[in-house]
A = this chain, B = another copy of it.
Amino acid sequence: MSKDCKAPIGVFDSGVGGLTVAREIMRNLPGEDIVYFGDTARVPYGSKSKATVLRYSRQIVRFLKTQQVKAIVIACNTASAYALEDIRKEIEIPIIGVIQPGAKVACETTANGRIGVIGTKATISSGIYTSFMRRQKPDVQVVGKPCPLFVPLVEEGWIKDPITVEVAKRYLEELLQYDIDTLILGCTHYPLLRSTIREIVGEKVTLVNPAYETAIELRELLEREGLSNPAKGKEHPNHCFYVSDAAEDFRNFANSILPYDIEMTQQINIEEY
């Protein structure tokens, strides 16, 4: 067993959305410590270019390495789309994103071979979900749809709201015309709108939450590499939260979606890394 196995897992996102991934890691790998970083000073990534998202992601990876993490999860679809491939070549520790696990499960799930993907403009226009799925299942048909208003609606707290239902209808009805039977929630905020989305797409469409699939892939990866923490299910795993701005707002949002209240969030200047 490697001496690294007691080290924490680094998880990062452009802001609060990645907490839905952290939450699944806490549920499914209860013995693991986590260092979470949310880039709240530069959020959102979804409307920005590949070069910028890659530069930001590299800075965050440098910060996480100062925290001696044993593995990194990019808990952000946009950063997974734009930065994972490059960064994987540059570092020695294992790193995974949220896209491949979601794409894999969607391919296994679909019966009619028609899969919808919703996400930020950047994630959808990168075409990365499509290329992962085509590699696994060449005849799959993928329809992507950017839903840029979903994140601000969630952050406004209008989760179950007639306006959110109208916006979701506008975005999703177009997808439904393609007779999809599987829909990937390709942005970490979207699982928070799951029940609204479910209402519109109906029971026949399977919703894939990449956050859950990523936690499962992380567990398998740690086991394969001999990096799992032996103290499985310990009572008080150590979860640290860092942000680049507005720690208090982050803490409030985190406490509304995590299974326990976090006590401290520390602000760092990410541009220095």
Contacts and interface: CB of A to CB of B under 8 A. Distances in A.
Interface of A: 40-43, 47-49, 51-52, 148-149, 151-153, 155-156, 162-163, 166-167, 170, 244-246, 249, 271
B163 A156 contact: no
A42 to B, nearest CB: 5
A223 B156 CA distance: 44
A245 B156 contact: no
A97 to B, nearest CB: 21
A249 B47 CA distance: 10
Copies of this chain, how many? 2
A167 B166 CA distance: 11
Contacts of A47: 43, 155, 246, 249
Contacts of A245: 48-49, 51-52
Q: What are the nearest 4 A-B pairs in CB distance? A: A52-B245, A152-B152, A49-B246, A41-B52
8 contacts: A41-B48, A47-B246, A48-B245, A51-B245, A148-B156, A149-B149, A162-B166, A163-B163
A152 B150 CA distance: 10
Contacts of A40: 48
Given A41-B52, A47-B246, A246-B47, A163 B167 contact: yes
Contact of A271 (B149, B167, B271): B271
A185 to B, nearest CB: 19
A41 B155 CA distance: 20
Contacts of A41: 42, 48, 52
A251 to B, nearest CB: 13
